[in-house]
Structure 1
Amino acid sequence: MRSDVLLLGLLVGCVNYLFRYLPLRLRASAASPAKRGATRVLLDTIGIASICALLVVSSVPEILHDTRRLLPTLVGFAVLGVSYYKTRSIIFPTLLSALGYGVAWKLLMFL
């Protein structure tokens, strides 16, 4: 592996870690944690936005190559949105959307 690829991966990983860790650390030391400001709302929505962005970026080339993948991708988006709306967590909706995509793909293959 080339060293510049490794260095870039480490840099992106560190920035990603700090991007997630520092707001939690700063929020823990805030004087009034019950007050919900614009920054907290923004940070709370970053998780679902990043998962949706990753899903779009990774699925568009696949859909352009094989149009049968459109329906499972839409199922994955729907499961992600509904489950995030219900749980307000990003962990289970991500796993459920992957499961929904896989089930929809398998069902489509059997039809």
Structure 2
Amino acid sequence: MSPDVLLLGLLVGGVNFLFRYLPLRIRTVQSRPARRGVTAVLLDTIGIASICALLVVSCMPDIMADDRRLLPTLVGFAVLGVSFWKTRSIITPTLLSALAYGIAWKLLTDV
């Protein structure tokens, strides 16, 4: 097995784990009581975790082949995270992050 494949698998697995684990930890630290249970929080985070895992898996070969794709990918991740945090929906952040990636790629390739 190639070390790149192993590293990519560990990276995706670690990020996926953190996307599932951290919301549960953050929810327990809050001072006000939560109305939703742990299962509801876990199920809510599965969508964003799967989108981020797919984004990492699909972008890594492109980033390794062309370094110029790193910054647009990071812009896409940032927009995905912030818009999901604001909306708590998966549809709008997915579309916004794809749009942000496309705009960032276009702006960087025209320079």
Shorter chain as normaliser: what TM range?
0.5 to 0.7
Q: Give the corresponding residue for 2:45.
A: 45
> 1:26-45 maps to which residues of 2 (within 5 A)?
35-45=35-45
Partner SS state of residue 89, structure 1: coil
Q: Give, as a single letter, the amino acid of the residue that structure 2 aligns with 1:104.
A: A
Aligned residues: 78
Q: Structure 1: give runs of 5+ residues left out of the alignment.
A: 1-33
What does the per-residue CA deviation read over 1:50-89, in whole Å, with 9 as the maximum and x for residues that have no partner? 0000000000111001010000000000000010011010
Distance (whole Å) between structure 2 residues aligned to residue 87 and residue 44 of structure 1: 12
The structure with the larger Rg is 1
TM-score, scaled relative to structure 1: 0.68
Runs of 4+ in 1 over 6 A off after TM superposition: none
In structure 2, runs of 5+ residues without a counterpart are 1-33
The alignment partner of 1:36 has SS state of: coil
For residues 57-72 of structure 1, the aligned pairs below 5 Å read: 57-72=57-72
Structure 1 residue matching 2:89: 3-state secondary structure: coil
AA aligned opposite 1:93: P
Identity %: 78
2:67 partner amino acid: T
TM-score by length of 2: 0.68
Question: Which of 1 and 2 has higher RCO (CA within 8 Å, sep 6+)?
Answer: 2
Could you tell me which residue of structure 2 aligns to residue 75 of structure 1? 75
**Distance of 2:51 and 2:90 partners within structure 1:** 8
CA RMSD of aligned residues (A): 1.3
Deviations 1:1-25 (A, max 9, x none): xxxxxxxxxxxxxxxxxxxxxxxxx
